[in-house]
Amino acid sequence: MAEQATAAPSQPRPPCWWGSVRARTTLASTLVVALALVAAGAAVLAELQRNLVDSAGLQAEVAARGVATQVAVGTPFDHLNLPDENDRPVQVVAADRTVLAAGDDLHHAPPLADFARAPHRTATSDARDDHDDDDDDTPARGSAADHATFRTVALTLHDDHPAGQDFRFAGLLATTPTGRTVTIYAGSSLNTERQAVDGVRDAMLIGLPALLLVVAAVTWLVTRRALRPVEGIRAELAEIMGGDLSRRVPQPASRDEVARLAQTTNVTLAALEKSVERQRQFVADASHELRSPIASLRTQLEVARAHPHLLELDGLIEDTVRLERVASDLLLLARLDAGERPRAGRLDLAELVRDELAHRSGDRLPVAADLPDEPLPVSASHTQLARVLGNLLDNAQRHACSVVRVAVHRGAAGTVALDVTDDGPGVPPADRDRIFTRFIRLDDARTRDEGGAGLGLAIVRDVIHRHGGRIEVGDADGGGARFTVTLPGAAHLNDHVPAVP
Closest CA to 50 of 201, 199, 193, 205: 193
Asked if residues 68 and 144 have their Cβ atoms less than 8 Å apart, the reply is yes
Q: Is the dihedral of CA 79, 83, 87, 93 positive or negative?
A: negative
Do residue 327 and residue 204 come from a single domain?
Answer: no
Cα Rg, the chain, nearest whole Å:
51
- Average pLDDT, rounded, for the chain: 79
Do residue 318 and residue 350 come from a single domain?
Answer: no
- Give the per-residue pLDDT at 405: 93
pLDDT of 469 over the 70 cut: yes
Do residue 107 and residue 202 come from a single domain?
Answer: yes
Do residue 34 and residue 183 come from a single domain?
Answer: yes
Asked if residues 471 and 455 have their Cβ atoms less than 8 Å apart, the reply is no
What is the pLDDT confidence band of residue 162, given thresholds at 50, 70 and 90? low
* Angle at 90 (CA atoms; ends 87, 95), nearest 5 degrees: 155
Do residue 185 and residue 142 come from a single domain?
Answer: yes
User: 0.85 cut: is pTM over it?
Assistant: no
Do residue 222 and residue 356 come from a single domain?
Answer: no
Q: Is the dihedral of CA 430, 433, 439, 445 positive or negative?
A: positive
- Give the per-residue pLDDT at 137: 59
pLDDT of 241 over the 50 cut: yes
**Of 242, 273, 289, which one is at a domain's C-terminal end?**
242
Do residue 329 and residue 346 come from a single domain?
Answer: no
Could you tell me which residue, 493 or 109, shows the higher pLDDT?
A: 109
The CATH number assigned to the domain holding 297 equals 1.10.287.130
Percent of the chain exceeding pLDDT 90 equals: 15
**Of 297, 313, 334, which one is at a domain's C-terminal end?**
334
Do residue 395 and residue 430 come from a single domain?
Answer: yes
- Give the per-residue pLDDT at 25: 86
483 three-class SS: strand
What is the pLDDT confidence band of residue 487, given thresholds at 50, 70 and 90? very high
- Give the per-residue pLDDT at 36: 92
- Give the per-residue pLDDT at 31: 92
What is the pLDDT confidence band of residue 392, given thresholds at 50, 70 and 90? very high
Rounded Cα gap, residues 147 and 160, in angstroms: 33
Q: Which of 54-68, 107-121, 228-242, 248-262 has the lowest mean pLDDT?
A: 107-121
Asked if residues 415 and 489 have their Cβ atoms less than 8 Å apart, the reply is yes
208 three-class SS: helix
Length of the chain measured in residues: 501
Q: Is the dihedral of CA 230, 232, 238, 241 positive or negative?
A: negative
Digit-coded pLDDT (tens) for 100-152: 888 877 777 777 755 544 443 333 333 334 444 444 556 776 666 778 888 88
- Most confident by average pLDDT, 76-90, 121-135, 431-445: 76-90
- Give the per-residue pLDDT at 131: 40
Do residue 214 and residue 309 come from a single domain?
Answer: no
Number of domains comprising the chain: 3
> Which domain does 415 fall in, by range?
342-488
Digit-coded pLDDT (tens) for 19-48: 578 888 889 999 999 999 999 999 999 999
pLDDT of 293 over the 50 cut: yes
